[in-house]
Amino acid sequence: MHAHATFYRRVEDALATPDLPEKMERATSRLVAARHAAFAAFTDGEHVRDRARAIRADVIANLDRYLERFATAAESRGGRVHWAETGADAVRIVQEIARTGGVGTAVKSKSMVSEEIDLNAALESAGVRVVETDLGEWIVQLARDHPSHIIAPIIHKSGEDIARVMRERLGASAEDTRDPAAMAALARRMLRAEFLRADMGISGSNFGVAETGSLCLVTNEGNGRLTTTVPRIHVALMGIERIVSTLGDLAIMLQLLARSATGQKLSVYTNILTGPRRVGEPDGPEELHIVLVDNRRSGLAGTDVAEILYCIRCGACLNGCPVYQAIGGHAYGSVYPGPVGAVLTPALRGLHEFGELPHASSLCGACREICPVRIDIPRMLLTLRATGVETEGAPAWIARGLRTYAALATRPALFRAAAGAARRLTRLRARNGWIGRLPGPLAGWTRQRDFPAFARRSFQDQWRARKRRAS
**pLDDT tens digit string along 78-89?**
999 999 999 999
Per-residue pLDDT at 448: 75
Q: Would you state the CATH architecture of domain 42-295?
A: 3-Layer(aba) Sandwich (3.40)
pTM for the full model? 0.90
Sheet holding 80-84, edge to edge: 80-84, 287-293, 233-239, 200-203, 105-108, 129-132
3-class SS of residue 201: strand
User: Alpha carbon 130 to chain centroid distance?
Assistant: 23
Burial zone of 469 (CB within 10 Å; 0-12 exposed, 13-18 middle, 19+ buried): exposed
* DSSP-assigned letter for residue 10: H
pLDDT (tens digit per residue) in 432-463: 899 999 888 888 888 878 999 998 888 888 99
Q: Is 455 within 8 Å of 422 (Cβ atoms)?
A: no
Identical fold between 42-295 and 302-392? no
pLDDT at 2 over 80: no
> Where does residue 159 fall: left (phi above 0), alpha (psi -120 to 50 degrees), or beta otherwise?
alpha
In this predicted model, what pLDDT tens digit does every residue of 101-126 receive, in sequence order? 999 999 999 999 999 999 999 999 99
Q: Does domain 302-392 have CATH number 1.10.1060.10?
A: yes
Nearest-angstrom CA–CA distance, 411 and 250: 58
Is residue 246 scored above 50 in pLDDT? yes
Complete DSSP assignment for 356-389: TGGGS----SHHHHH-TT---HHHHHHHHHHHHH
- Mind listing the pLDDT tens digit for each residue in 7-28? 888 998 998 898 898 899 999 9
What 3-state DSSP class applies to 235? strand
Per-residue pLDDT of 256-301, as tens digits, reads 999 999 999 999 999 999 999 999 898 899 999 999 999 999 999 9
Question: What is the Cα–Cα distance from 314 to 115, expressed in whole angstroms?
Answer: 17
Query: Which residue, 148, 185, 150, is CA-closest to 166?
Result: 185
pLDDT tens digit sequence for 369-427: 999 999 999 999 999 999 998 887 777 888 888 899 999 999 999 999 999 998 999 98
Question: For the chain, which residues make up each domain, given as ranges?
Answer: 42-295, 302-392, 397-470
**Does the CA dihedral 58-369-32-264 come out positive or negative?**
positive
Say if residue 3's pLDDT is above 90: no
